[in-house]
Structure 1
Amino acid sequence: MSALHRFDVAPSPAWRLLWLWVPLLLVAGVMVGTALDAPERSHTELFITLPFLAVLAAALTWAYTRRSIVLHQDTLEVQSTFYRKRVPVSAMRLDEARIVDFAEHGRYKPTIKTNGYGMPGFQSGHYRMADRSKAFCLITDSSRVLHLPLRDGSAVLVSPERPRALLDALQALAGPPRAH
């Protein structure tokens, strides 16, 4: 294996961005409507707030598209929206890793967002699992998630295009399983 190996992230449909854009457009519409309703008020706040909302929408849209899974030497690097996680292969419990579908294995699904970016069908950043353990997530397709438990009790959950290929590459780097 080369020193740097990229794994495609499972695609996430662009229509999911409607969960971001529709609320921002509603806020902008309400602001314009209330400003036009009060002609005696200055419209300065519109000249400040509307460009701010546009910049915010652009930044959040850019963040939504920023994601990668890279295996570099003996470290897995997952980059997702505003977050990045680097995990040495030696810190993973690969004998317990599995590819899951959240519809069938709900216990692997993150439940509480602690510091993340999420919308229906997309989770990025730091979450808590049902058992209160920590997880770093890049989930774009809940039907094919690679669950990688770590030795510290936390986990990494990613949605690569080909989860088996990533798991095989990690196992190849780790070498043969050790006897306990």
Structure 2
Amino acid sequence: MSRPTSTRTGFAVAPAPIWRVLWLWLPLLGVAVLLVATHLQEQRTPMDMAITAPFLLALGGVLSWAFFRRRIVLENGELVVTSTFYRRRTAVSSLQLDQARIVDLAEHAQFKPGMKINGFGMPGFQSGHYRLGKRKAFCLVTDASRVLYLPTRDDRVLLLSPEHPRALLDALNAQATR
């Protein structure tokens, strides 16, 4: 008896500038400076420093790890998007590929993620669940100038920033015709 062959194709995510990690580390650095300043004024004990400083380092490490955790994979008829702390599996058959578009969010504000429902975001980077008007959107946006807008049949949207959006859209169309 033959096994079904597994197909797995990965698509590179458009890189986000490394300096965006500063949006994570600068507030943590500010808290560390406040911690040291209050310790020097003898408002904190050495035990406070011993507990808080490693916690801040661990928090910064986890958030930095999450920032770099980004993957787009087309696997066995499903589009699997992994971004920060979130993962979304969407069957290719549930995508409305005839309505898919590659957009620049600066020119098409109607496609820009709105209110964050449950996500990880900073200027120029959105990951997780957002509102797009009245619709729910799952976002992995690292480059707002080339975002793949993928509506689904259940009135949700995927907003993705693959490095080559046309290649991903072509692969999805090829998968859908099989």
* Helix, strand or coil at the partner of 1:12: coil
Determine the structure 2 residue equivalent to 1:140.
Answer: 142
Q: Which runs of 5+ in 2 are unaligned?
A: 1-5
- How many Å apart are 1:91 and its aligned residue? 0.7
In 2, Cα distance between the equivalents of 1:121 and 1:48? 33
Q: 1:75 aligns with which of 74, 78, 83?
A: 78
Q: Who is 2:29 aligned against?
A: 25
For 2:115 and 2:13, locate their aligned partners in 1 and report how far apart those are by CA, in whole Å. Answer: 23
Q: For 1:14-163, what aligned pairs fall within 5 Å after superposition?
A: 14-38=18-42, 41-129=44-132, 131-163=133-165
The alpha carbon displacement at 1:159 in A equals 0.2
Q: Tell me the distance in 2 between the aligned counterparts of 1:150 and 1:46.
A: 49
**Counterpart position of 2:14:** 10
Q: Which amino acid aligns with 2:49?
A: L
Where structure 1 has 5 or more consecutive residues not aligned to the other structure, the ranges are none
Q: Partners of 1:114 and 1:47 in 2: how far apart?
A: 35
State the superposition RMSD in angstroms. Answer: 1.2
SS of the equivalent of 2:31 reads helix
Letter in 2 for 1:113: K
Q: Distance in 2 between matches of 1:56 and 1:42?
A: 21
Partner AA of 1:128 in structure 2: R
> Between the two proteins, what is the percent identity of the paired residues?
58
Offset from partner CA, 1:153-176 (integer Å, 9 cap, x none): 010110000000000010111119
Q: Distance in 1 between matches of 2:42 and 2:91?
A: 59
- Secondary structure of 2:27's counterpart equals helix
How many pairs align?
173
Q: Secondary structure of 2:82's partner?
A: strand
Distance between the aligned counterparts of 2:76 and 2:164, measured in 1? 19
Whole-angstrom CA distance in 2 between matches of 1:55 and 1:30:
18
- Offset of 1:121 from its aligned partner? 0.5
Deviation per CA, 1:129-180, whole angstroms, max 9, x where unpaired? 1x2210000000000000000001010110000000000010111119xxxx
1:42 partner amino acid: T
Runs of 4+ in 1 over 6 A off after TM superposition: none
In the alignment, the residues of structure 2 paired with residue 103 and residue 38 of structure 1 have an alpha-carbon distance, to the nearest angstrom, of 50
TM-score computed with the length of structure 1 as normaliser: 0.93
2:171 is aligned to 169
What CA distance in whole angstroms lies between the structure 2 residues aligned with 1:73 and 1:20?
A: 36
